[in-house]
Structure 1
Amino acid sequence: MAFYVHPNCQVASFILNTLGWMFSMISMGLAKWRVWYLLSSAAPSQGLASVGMWKVCTYQPNSLQSRPIACHRYTYSDTYLPLDIRIAQHLLLAASLLSFLGKVLTIMGLRRVYAGQLQKDTTCNLFFISGVLSIIAGTLIFIAVIWNYHSVINEEGIHFPPSFHIASRPDWQEIGSSVPVAILAAFLMLLSGLLTISYQLSPDNQVYPEVSQGSNCRVHSFANPR
């Protein structure tokens, strides 16, 4: 049995994976994973504090300084970071790496399809592994988001160094705008992975790209006479 596969499915999956990877990188760089309100704090940082995965920023709306926003970046040697942030850092880094590897495998598979260098086992495995990596990456991001949400709901504090001039616990806190970006990244990666692994062939199948005008991601099969 020969299968004719329209490669637009994998092109769409590659685009979704790329967008998910970009949003994942953006969410890691943003500081607003948690927003702290320090209205009753006696520290100089009285106002707002945005706690991210790699930095914390304070904002004093009534400050007379030229830069009312001050940011402090974390390092791996910082021992004051709680366990949830440390784990989330590694989860997001792993998700970005896995998503990038998935993109590389998808490109290799598409290159084989368009160049006509089709080996049923190798090409199918490239797409399948890419899809699995994307699903794992999206799951890791969701875990980081859920853990961050759990910390906010429980109103957990962080003992920042005295030089940061940030209270260890805010008056109250809420989810920041970085979280929706991370959720979107996870959703795109999961969708990309599910679309990619839909390209599967049985051991007795041969792959041929079909050139057509439509963009439907369908697989047409034709039985070979024996």
Structure 2
Amino acid sequence: MITCLKFGKERSVAYISHLDVIRAFERAFRRAKLPLAFSQGFSPRPKMVFGQPLPLGLTSSGEYVDITLEKEMSEKEVLARLEETMPPGFVLYEAKNLDDSVKPIMSVITHASYLFLGDSTKEILKALEYENIPYVRERKGKKQVQDLRPLIETINICEGGVKVVAKAGSRANLRPDALICALGLDKGEIRVHRENLFLQKDGKLISPLMRS
């Protein structure tokens, strides 16, 4: 059985790397005595797949992880056990039991919503007016230019800043820090919060918990 967990990261754990997040969940699962399924081979690992990794320094209220259990458990019991063992700074929101045939969450994520918070974030609204938003980065000693404009879907005003819905995932992915840099804004004056992750189905964005 596959159970998808929705969780968040608060400020106190914003600078914990994705690898350390995986380790934190592994420890929490062990302490919760969940009947996790393990991979085969020389070094068995718990069968769990995370969604799009959260960039370092960001908080979030919309992260996801798929876990495979060897026996069926109610969503309520899974949450109750984990709430006793998760380290401070991680918030559990929801659990959803899914069919074993669903595709892994990492492979289905297509979009993310971000909140850019701060006085200077209204400048990001102008991004929709630009035909191109070039972002220059250096890799292996060579400069590469990426146009970020095709990655942006919508930008709207929200409390304290702006909300950006953009492409995310393995095929196309907007990094919030890249957008801030490309627009010439000061990263130190802007706080970024990932609100949620989505997959696209029939032209609409839906929660990973709604996979079938």
> TM (normalized to structure 1)?
0.26
In proportion to residue count, which structure has more strand?
2
State the structure with more CA Rg: 1
> TM (normalized to structure 2)?
0.27
Higher relative contact order (CA 8 A, sep 6+): 1
In proportion to residue count, which structure has more helix?
1
